[in-house]
Each structure stands twice: as C-alpha cells, then as structure tokens.
Amino acid sequence: MKLFHQFLDTLVHSIRNLLPIIIVVGVFQFLVLQQVPDGLTSMMIGLGIVVLGVALFLQGLEMGVFPIGKSLSDEFAAKGSLPWLMIFGFFMGFSAVIAEPALIAVAEQAEIISEGRINPLVLRLLVASSVGAVISVGVLRIILGLPLHWMMIGGYLTVVVVTFFAPEEIVGLAYDSGGVTTNIVTVPLIAALGLGLAASIRGRNPLTDGFGLVALAVMVPMITVQLYGVIVFTLGDADTAGSASEVVQAMEEHADTAAPASVRGLFMDLATMVRDVLPIILVVLIFQFAVIRKRIPHLAMVSFGFVLVIIGLYAFVVGLKLGLFPIGERMAEQLIAHDRIVFVYLFAFAIGFATTMAEPALIAVGKKAEEAAKGKIRGNAIRIIVALGVAIGITIGVHRIIAGDSIHMYIIAGYSVVILLTWLSPRYIIALAYDLGGVTTSEVTVPLITALGIGLATHIEGRNIMIDGFGLIAFASIFPIITVMLYAIVAEQFAKRGKSS
C-alpha cells in the first residue's frame, strides 16, 4: 500500500513536470495559431505514455538503483581504496549514461538524419565511455582536493579549439550529446557520489568539492563526439545526407514504427530495453558480489525496481516518439507557416523557461546547494536564474537556425564568455554553476527541444537538417552557466558594498 501511494505521488510529480509544456503549447496552439493540430489524439496518447513511463522509471530508480548505488558508494568510501573508487566511478558513469533515454532518442534521430552515417550504438558507447572516464578523474579530484576551475578552463579551451576544426555537421550533435548525458539517471547517481565523497573526507567542502562531477560529464563528450565527427564526415564520403524531404519521410516512418504492431514486437522492444539497462545491472552485481562481497539488502525490492526501470524506459521512448517529437516538429512548422517570426522566438523563450522551472533535478540540486552554501545561495533564486538562462539560450539558438548562421561562432563565443566568467566568479559558485548547466535538460525537454530544432531546419528554406537541426540543447546548457556566474558576481559586489557602508 505504501509503494502504491509512492507511485501515485511520483505519477502526480510526472504530470506536474509535463504540465508547463502542455500549457505553453496549448496557449500558442489555440490562441496564437488558432487551430487544432493534426494527429492530436496520437499526441495526447503519447504524452500520457510519457507520463506513465517517467513515473514507472522514477519509482524503479527509488526502489532499486538509488539505494544500491548509495550503498556501494558508502562501502567504497569506507574502504578508502583510491583505485577501486576510480574504477567504480568509471563503471557507474558508463552504465548510467548508456541507459539514458534522452541519449537513446538523440542517437536514433542522428542515425536517421545522417542516413546511417552515424551509428547510434557507437555514439552511445563513445559518450558513455567519455562520461565514465571523466567521472573517474572527478573522483580523484575530490579525494586530492584539486580546484575545479583549472580543469574546467582547460577543458573548455580544448572544446573551443576542437569546435573550430570540427566539421559543421557534427558540432550541434556533439554539444547536444554532452547536454543529454546528465539527466534522469545520471544526475542523482553522479551528484550523490560527489557529495558523499566530499562529506566523508576531512577538509573537503560539499559546495566547492562535492559539485562538479555533473559538469565534467557534460564537457568531455563534447570533445570526443566532435573527434568522432572528424572521422565520420571528414574521412568518409562527401555525400552524407539526403534531401530534406527524404529525411523527413524517414523520420515519419520511424515514428510510425515507434509503437509495436504485435505481441512479438512488444517483446522485441522490451528485450532492447533490457539490453540498454543491462550494463548498470551488471556493474552493480559485479561490484556487490566480487568486490564488496556482501549480499544485496532487500533483494526482492531491488529486483522489482529494476523491472520497473526497464518497463518505464520502454514506455518513455515509445511515448516521446508518439507525442513529444511530433509536437516539437509541428509547432515549428505551424509557427513558420504563420509567417510571424516573433512568435517563434516567444515560443522558444516560454517553453525554455516553463520546462526548466519544473525540472526535478534542478529543484533537488538547488536545495542541496542552499544547504551546502549556508545562506550564500537561495534555492528558489537559483531556479529562476537558471530558467532565465535556458530561455535566453534556446531563443538565441532558434535565432541561429532562422538566420542560418554557423553554430561554430555562437558556441565559441558562448564558451569564451564562460571561461572569462570562471576567472572572475567567486570560487564557491564555479562547480555549482557548471553542474546547473548540466541539469537543465530534462527527460521531457530534450526530445521537445530536439524536435523543435529539427522542425525549424526542415521548414526553413536553405537549412541543412544535420547542420542546423541540432544544437539547441547546447545553448540550453551554456547560458545557465553564464547567468548563475553573473548572479554570484553581482551578489558578491552587493555584499561588499553592504559591508563597507
């Protein structure tokens, strides 16, 4: 009975997270466009499946993944073994990201749009390996007490240099791949690992040392995916993508097959989900029995939790193909056809702000930051500042697509500002600011924003879907870092003036 009430709370929470999107889409659809969208029934069913899938997935995480992950982290921290902590950090990062539903969705869209040139499994393995490696390095940073800002400045200088030389077809996808690594699975696992280590090691500050793992998990995939793009697009055939009509047709056919047509299809898709979640299950079992050498507490509950994770993940992927992708694409098409570009900008700003304010990972991290900062930071203020940054970022990203500008200069300019602010900002805010840039892309926001970008690139004459369609998630990650750092700089200046007066 208790579990049932917990699930109902989670279901209500999932509905509440989706509600701002529904309100924004409804206002623009019925008040601005004044028309009923095609396939409304299918979209509504898809949204319902998304809500149910996310609720089941979160419930499974609470019952199975999080308890055992925390238990393993505590055991390794108690052992005090640096090599085992780094190995555990790698495999936890890898297994969490490889099962990330938003990454699966983006990888599948990239395969369709590149006409098979980008292999979705290779892309996911590359991103997951990058995250695992950098989490291992991040664990070492916390243990040794190394300052994060040097790592972030050096890392993003590398990002900017690689972006300058990377083919334009891969830049947007690379930044989007970095943005979607920190999501429904990764943020709680990685944040708990960092904060737990910082709390258990004498002389470490949870605010300055505990945060930062999420930021590293966002940054490194941007580099590795762009290098992958150099191999795929520069060393491969020149003719990499079909016409816009061919790509759109392929995407529609793919969406039509999102829901299984038979019982056999249902079991095949569920088997695919098992394959996606299997890495994290294997990591847990191997470390629990081969390294810790203890039985798993509440084994039946944990096992049931993993089953819910698999079912919820499957429902989520099916629902976003039926509901969220079509909403983003058709809203873009309708707004462009409406021939009033200002409404495209307003929609981008509103959807960015609304979804971010409801983002559960942001709420959780804001509360943790408020506790760790001891009065320096207010959780609600952070949420508003981050939501404003996301809204501004998505609006600028939409402008880039409409104007047809190269993403290179936008990204290089954005991260140049981030690097400059990292020098100027108070040290206590740096790790948190970078982490907040990674938690803004939620399991609902990512598919919608991706579809919006692809829809705009499809229906604006002269745009290339592969080059212009991706990249909005990157803008949603960059600008919250900027707004949070500016907030901290201004707050510190006011504090200094208050003391001197």
pLDDT score of 255: 43
Domain boundaries, the chain: 2-500
**Distance between CA atoms of residues 121 and 99, nearest Å:** 11
pLDDT score of 222: 85
The two three-digit tokens of residue 181, written as one number: 């690594």
The two three-digit tokens of residue 62, written as one number: 């609470």
The two three-digit tokens of residue 434, written as one number: 């970078």
**Distance between CA atoms of residues 292 and 139, nearest Å:** 19
**Distance between CA atoms of residues 185 and 58, nearest Å:** 9
pLDDT score of 133: 92
* CA 426, 132, 480, 355 torsion-angle sign: negative
Q: Residue 233: which residues within 8 A CB-CB, separation 6 or more?
A: 117, 167, 169, 170, 240
Q: 363 exposed, middle or buried (CB, 10 Å; 0-12, 13-18, 19+)?
A: middle
pLDDT score of 252: 45
pLDDT score of 392: 95
Which stretches within 230-337 are classed as H helix?
244-256, 263-286, 299-319, 325-337
**Distance between CA atoms of residues 453 and 390, nearest Å:** 15
Length of the chain in residues, anyone?
Answer: 501
**Distance between CA atoms of residues 204 and 192, nearest Å:** 15
Maximum Cα–Cα distance across the chain = 74
Global pTM value? 0.71
Three-state SS annotation for 398-424: HHHHHHCCCHHHHHHHHHHHHHHHHHH
Looking at this protein, which amino acid is placed at residue 247?
Answer: V
The two three-digit tokens of residue 7, written as one number: 């699930």
pLDDT score of 53: 82
**Could you list the pLDDT tens digit for every one of the 501 residues in the chain?**
677 777 788 788 778 777 877 788 788 877 777 777 667 777 788 878 878 887 887 788 778 766 776 677 667 767 667 788 888 888 888 887 887 766 777 787 678 767 778 888 888 899 889 989 988 998 888 888 888 878 888 888 898 888 888 887 777 778 777 776 766 556 666 777 777 777 777 777 777 777 788 778 888 888 888 888 888 877 655 444 444 444 444 444 444 444 555 566 667 767 776 776 777 778 778 887 887 777 777 778 888 888 888 888 788 777 777 776 677 667 777 777 777 788 889 988 988 888 787 666 676 667 667 776 666 677 678 888 998 999 999 999 999 998 888 887 888 888 889 989 988 888 878 888 888 887 776 665 676 777 788 888 887 888 877 678 777 888 888 899 999 999 889 888 877 777 766
pLDDT score of 486: 93
CB 458 within 8 Å of CB 469: yes
pLDDT score of 420: 92
Residue 139's H or E segment, with its range, is helix 120-144
CB 244 within 8 Å of CB 461: no
Q: 87 exposed, middle or buried (CB, 10 Å; 0-12, 13-18, 19+)?
A: middle
**Distance between CA atoms of residues 102 and 475, nearest Å:** 17
Instruction: Calculate the dihedral angle through the C-alpha atoms of 224, 369, 422, 144, rounding to the nearest 10 degrees.
Output: -70
